[in-house]
Chain A
Amino acid sequence: AQKITQTQPGMFVQEKEAVTLDCTYDTSDQSYGLFWYKQPSSGEMIFLIYQGSYDEQNATEGRYSLNFQKARKSANLVISASQLGDSAMYFCAMRGVEYGNKLVFGAGTILRVKS
């Protein structure tokens, strides 16, 4: 069965520093996709970044990058140069054929950026 594990319930980071949010996954699929979403206090789900299981390069989107280590089944999110507006809940999710292309979420990590 597909499963996403986020082991950090909460993280603090100093403004302008980089932070890594951990995500490990479990699946028997060969073809799957990994997603990161941001949920600010207003509640909406904001798509950040996507990594396909066959992508050889780590995905990057502006200040966000995904450190994809397929053999270790990890897909950590790296946020560079943290900003106060990065304070939010962050969810890792995956989608694979094994689970009928449904999106499975981790429990989330709350990030607080300190000034």
Chain B
Amino acid sequence: NAGVTQTPKFQVLKTGQSMTLQCAQDMNHEYMSWYRQDPGMGLRLIHYSVGAGITDQGEVPNGYNVSRSTTEDFPLRLLSAAPSQTSVYFCASSYGQADSGNTIYFGEGSWLTVV
């Protein structure tokens, strides 16, 4: 997972609190994404970005905001945390298009518990 840094690794939040999960990559990748992982459901896409200033929603965007002011950083904001947002969050980055074979790099994951 060299090159994609996620912080924090663990966080406990109270319902209604807000927080930001940080993601940074130093590989000059165009594509960055946020996923959440829940038991039995694999990884589901929350938001993604194809470059600085460009973001779009994924499969499960409600309750989350993102921005991409630089190529390197792609923070994920929880606006008002809910217990349903208890999950493991992964940030990922890559170059290029779908069939280019470029490896998609993942951060180490952030374990979030909302109580």
- Count: A-B pairs, CB below 8 Å: 72
Q: How many residues of A contact B (CB 8 A)?
A: 31
Q: How many residues of B contact A (CB 8 A)?
A: 29
Write out the residue numbers on chain B whose beta carbons fall within 8 Å of the beta carbon of A100.
48, 50, 56
- Cβ of A91 and Cβ of B104 under 8 Å apart? no
Q: Given known contacts A44-B109, A97-B97, A102-B33, is B42 in contact with A107 (CB within 8 Å)? A: yes
Of B31, B40, B99, the residue contacting A54 (CB under 8 A) is: B99
Write out the residue numbers on chain A whose beta carbons fall within 8 Å of the beta carbon of B48.
100, 102
- Cβ of B40 and Cβ of A29 under 8 Å apart? no
Q: Distance in Å from the Cβ of A54 to the closest Cβ of chain B? A: 7
* B23-45 interface code vs A (CB 8 A; 1 in, 0 out): 00000000101010000111111
Residues of B within 8 A of A (CB): 1, 31, 33, 35, 40-45, 48, 50, 56, 58, 88, 90, 92, 97-101, 103-106, 108-109, 111
